[in-house]
A and B are shown apart, each in its own frame.
Chain A
Amino acid sequence: MVHLESSKDYVVVMKGITKVYPGGVVANRNIDFDLKRGEIHALLGENGAGKTTLMKILAGCLLPDKGEIYVKGERVKFRSPVDAIKKGIGMVHQHFTLIPSFTVAENIILGGIGGKREGIKLDMKAIEEEIAEFAKKHGLPINPKARIEELPVGLKQRVEILRLLYRKADILILDEPTSVLTPLEVKELFEALKRMASEGKSIVFVTHKLDEALSISDRITVLRKGEVVARIDNPKSISKEKLAELVVGRKIVYKAVKTKTLYDKTTPLMEIRNLKVLDDRGVLAVRNLNLTLYPGEILGLAGVEGNGQRELVEAITGLRRVEEGEIVILGKKVTNKPPKYIIELGVSYIPEDRTGRGVALELSVAENLIAKVHDKTPFSRRGILNLKSIYSFAKEAIEKFNIVTPSVKTPTMYLSGGNIQRLILARELSFKPKIIIAEQPTAGLDVAATEFIHKLLIDFRNSGCGILLISADIDEILKLSDRVAVIYGGRIVKVYDEVSRIDLIELSKYMLGVKTE
Chain B
Amino acid sequence: MYEIVVGQLAATVRILTPLALAALGELIVERSGVLNLSIEGIMLFGAFVAFITTFYTDNPWIGILSAMGVGVLLALFFGILTVLLALDQIIVGLSMNILAMGATFFFYRAIFGWYVSPVPPHVETIITEMPIPGLSMIPVIGPIFFNQTVFTYLLFILIPLTYIVLYKTRIGLHLRACGEDPLVADYLGINVYKYRFIALAIEGVLGGIAGALLSISQYNMFLDNMTAGRGYIAIALVILGGWDPLKMLLGTLLYAFVEALQLRIQAAGVVVTAWFPYQFALMLPYLVALIALILFGRRIRGPKALAKPYRRVR
Contact = CB atoms under 8 A, between A and B. Distances in A.
Direct contact between the two chains A and B in their complex (CB within 8 A)? yes
Interface of A: 61-63, 79-82, 85, 97-102, 106, 109-113, 119-122
Contact of A99 (B168, B170, B180): B180
A112 B170 CA distance: 8
B177 interface: yes
Nearest to A98: B184
Given A61-B314, A122-B172, A102 B187 contact: no
Contacts of B170: 109, 112, 119-122
A172 to B, nearest CB: 16
B250 interface: no
Given A82-B189, A97-B188, A112-B189, 8 more contacts: A97-B184, A102-B176, A110-B173, A110-B185, A111-B185, A121-B168, A121-B169, A122-B168
A121 B170 CA distance: 6
B308 interface: no
Given A61-B187, A97-B187, A110-B190, A122 B180 contact: no
Contacts of A62: 314
A100 B180 CA distance: 9
Contacts of B268: none
Question: Which bucket holds chain B's interface residue count?
Answer: 20 to 34
Contacts of B169: 120-122
B288 interface: no
Contacts of A79: 314
B304 interface: yes
Contacts of B188: 81-82, 97, 110-111, 113
Given A80-B189, A97-B184, A122-B172, A63 B314 contact: yes
Contacts of A119: 170
B14 interface: no
Nearest to A119: B170
B180 A81 contact: no
A99 B190 CA distance: 13
A102 B185 CA distance: 12
B171 A120 contact: yes
Contacts of B314: 61-63, 79-80
Interface string B261-304: 00000000000000000000000000000000000000000001
Interface of B: 168-174, 176-177, 180-181, 183-185, 187-190, 304, 314
Which of A61, A99, A109, A112 has the largest count of B CB atoms less than 10 A from its CB? A99
A81 B189 contact: yes
A63 B181 CA distance: 22
A480 to B, nearest CB: 33
Main secondary structure of the interface of B (DSSP, over half): helix
A206 B213 CA distance: 60
A61 B187 CA distance: 8
B189 A101 contact: no
A63 B312 CA distance: 12
Nearest to B165: A120
A266 to B, nearest CB: 45
A111 B304 contact: no
Closest 3 CB pairs of A and B: A111-B188, A82-B189, A111-B189
A118 B237 CA distance: 35
Contacts of B187: 61, 81, 97
A111 B176 CA distance: 12
Contacts of A101: 180, 304
Contacts of B185: 99, 110-111
A102 B168 contact: no
Contacts of B174: 110-112
Contacts of A110: 173-174, 177, 184-185, 188, 190
A112 B190 CA distance: 8
Which of B171, B183, B314 has the largest count of A CB atoms less than 10 A from its CB? B314
A82 B190 CA distance: 9
A99 B176 CA distance: 10
Contacts of A85: 189
A97 B314 CA distance: 16
A159 to B, nearest CB: 12
Contacts of A120: 169-171
A99 B181 contact: yes
Contacts of A109: 170, 173
A102 B189 contact: no
22 contacts: A62-B314, A80-B314, A81-B188, A81-B189, A82-B189, A85-B189, A97-B184, A98-B184, A99-B177, A99-B184, A100-B304, A102-B173, A102-B177, A106-B173, A110-B177, A111-B185, A111-B188, A112-B170, A113-B188, A121-B168, A122-B170, A122-B172
Contacts of A61: 187, 314
B12 to A, nearest CB: 34
Nearest to B172: A122
Contacts of B184: 97-99, 110
B189 A113 contact: yes
Which of B173, B176, B180 has the largest count of A CB atoms less than 10 A from its CB? B173
Nearest to A85: B189
A54 B158 CA distance: 47
Nearest to A97: B184
B223 to A, nearest CB: 41
Contacts of A100: 180, 304
A61 B184 CA distance: 11
B190 A111 contact: yes
Contacts of A122: 168-170, 172-173
Contacts of A80: 189, 314
Nearest to B180: A99
Nearest to A63: B314
Nearest to A80: B189
A107 to B, nearest CB: 9
Contacts of B183: 97
Contacts of A111: 174, 185, 188-190
Contacts of A82: 188-189
Nearest to B188: A111
A77 to B, nearest CB: 12
A102 B184 CA distance: 12
B74 to A, nearest CB: 29
B221 to A, nearest CB: 43
A120 B172 CA distance: 9
Contacts of A81: 187-189
B193 to A, nearest CB: 12
A79 B171 CA distance: 23
Nearest to A112: B170
B58 to A, nearest CB: 41
Contacts of B180: 99-102
Contacts of B173: 102, 106, 109-110, 122
A121 B172 CA distance: 10
A97 B184 CA distance: 5
B175 to A, nearest CB: 11
Contacts of A99: 177, 180-181, 184-185
Contacts of A113: 188-189
A113 B170 CA distance: 11
A119 B177 CA distance: 18
A122 B185 CA distance: 17
A86 to B, nearest CB: 9
A120 B171 CA distance: 7
